[in-house]
Amino acid sequence: MSGPRHVLVSAVEERGPLLHDVQADAPAPNLPDAPAPDLPDDLRRRLADWSLARPAGGFASRPELRRHVARGLELARAVARRLGPEWAVRYQDERHRTTKYVCWGCGHLHWTPDAHGIPPHPVDLVVVGEYGAYPLRAEGFGHFSPDDPAAALDLSAALVADLNRWAADVKAAMDTWVHDRDSARLHDTYARLRDEGELLTARVARELPPGRSVTFEGV
């Protein structure tokens, strides 16, 4: 099967909370024997609880329906983040009677899976120290800031600050090297920046959701 696999998150009576390999124009799974999405047990349990919480005859009040729809959207976003770019996740909103794609990067809802263009968000990241450049790079994005909304990395504020500080240190070191060619100081500074870059890369890897990768390309 080419392209992303499809997942529908729905709590409608005749469907379970998660159907895999459902195409946008198909009412039922078209590959029932395919492996199910790899989701944590806790997320599967929350999906099941959400589906079971729906009254058999529908909701008696609009506030209850709104709360149920909001909870379902939160779960659909969690599914999309977990599965990443290899799956297209759609959410069936019972309140608005719509079925939209949930972006695995930014969490927004879209009518089409490619609303962000190609690539939608950087997938294979590179941490690299280059003069005057942002510390992250990806094909199709070039260098970019670790908190760039278009990248949708959702890195912690502490990690964003440390990446930007490291990039500033790289620039400052290169400015110094222009006037100071002492080989011992040059070697020590390079080794320190390289080691810091490797540690930062490991931290980025820990914070990235499944479906994204990061490598260190040096200084």
Q: What is the pLDDT of residue 165?
A: 97
Tell me the C-alpha to C-alpha distance, in Å, between residue 183 and each of 7, 35, 187: 57, 56, 6
| Residue 64 and residue 135 in one domain | no
Q: Which of 76, 110, 144 is the last residue of a domain?
A: 110
> Which residue, 132, 126, 139, 130, is CA-closest to 208?
126
In a domain, 77, yes or no: yes
In a domain, 171, yes or no: yes
Q: Work out how many domains the chain is built from and give that number.
A: 2
- Return d(Cα 171, Cα 193) in angstroms, integer: 11
Give per-residue pLDDT as tens, 73-132: 999 999 988 888 888 899 999 999 999 999 888 888 999 887 776 567 888 999 999 999
| Residue 73 and residue 164 in one domain | no
Tell me the average pLDDT of the chain. Answer: 85
In a domain, 116, yes or no: no
Q: Contact, 192 vs 165, CB < 8 A?
A: no
| Residue 137 and residue 205 in one domain | yes
Q: What is the pLDDT of residue 14?
A: 58
Q: What is the pLDDT of residue 182?
A: 66
- What value does the mean pLDDT take over residues 56-68? 90
| Residue 10 and residue 87 in one domain | yes
Higher pLDDT, 186 or 44: 44
Q: Domain limits at 53?
A: 5-110
Helical H segments across 53-182, by residue range: 62-83, 157-179
| Residue 137 and residue 97 in one domain | no
In a domain, 89, yes or no: yes
| Residue 139 and residue 82 in one domain | no
- Return d(Cα 76, Cα 7) in angstroms, integer: 10
Higher pLDDT, 38 or 1: 38
Q: What is the pLDDT of residue 32?
A: 39
| Residue 14 and residue 104 in one domain | yes
Q: Which two tokens stand for residue 212?
A: 């994204």
- Return d(Cα 121, Cα 129) in angstroms, integer: 21
| Residue 17 and residue 49 in one domain | yes
Q: Calculate what percentage of the chain has a pLDDT beyond 90.
A: 49
In a domain, 98, yes or no: yes
In a domain, 200, yes or no: yes
What are the residues whose beta carbons fall under 8 Å from the beta carbon of 72, sequence distance 6 or more?
Answer: 9, 11, 50, 91, 93, 94
| 17-25 long-range Cβ contacts below 8 angstroms, 24+ apart | 17/47, 17/48, 17/50, 17/51, 17/75, 18/44, 18/47, 18/79, 22/90, 24/90
pTM: 0.62
Give per-residue pLDDT as tens, 154-189: 899 999 999 999 999 999 988 887 676 667 778 888
Higher pLDDT, 51 or 32: 51
Q: Which of 110, 139, 173 is the last residue of a domain?
A: 110
Q: What is the pLDDT of residue 30?
A: 37
Task: Judge whether residue 33 has pLDDT over 60.
Answer: no
> Which residue, 205, 199, 54, 78, is CA-closest to 191?
199
Work out whether strand 5-9 and strand 18-20 pair parallel, antiparallel, or are unpaired. antiparallel
- Return d(Cα 79, Cα 51) in angstroms, integer: 15
Q: Which of 110, 136, 155 is the last residue of a domain?
A: 110
- Return d(Cα 92, Cα 101) in angstroms, integer: 9
Q: What is the pLDDT of residue 29?
A: 40
In a domain, 119, yes or no: no
What are the residues whose beta carbons fall under 8 Å from the beta carbon of 180, sequence distance 6 or more?
Answer: 186
| Residue 189 and residue 141 in one domain | yes
| Residue 25 and residue 99 in one domain | yes
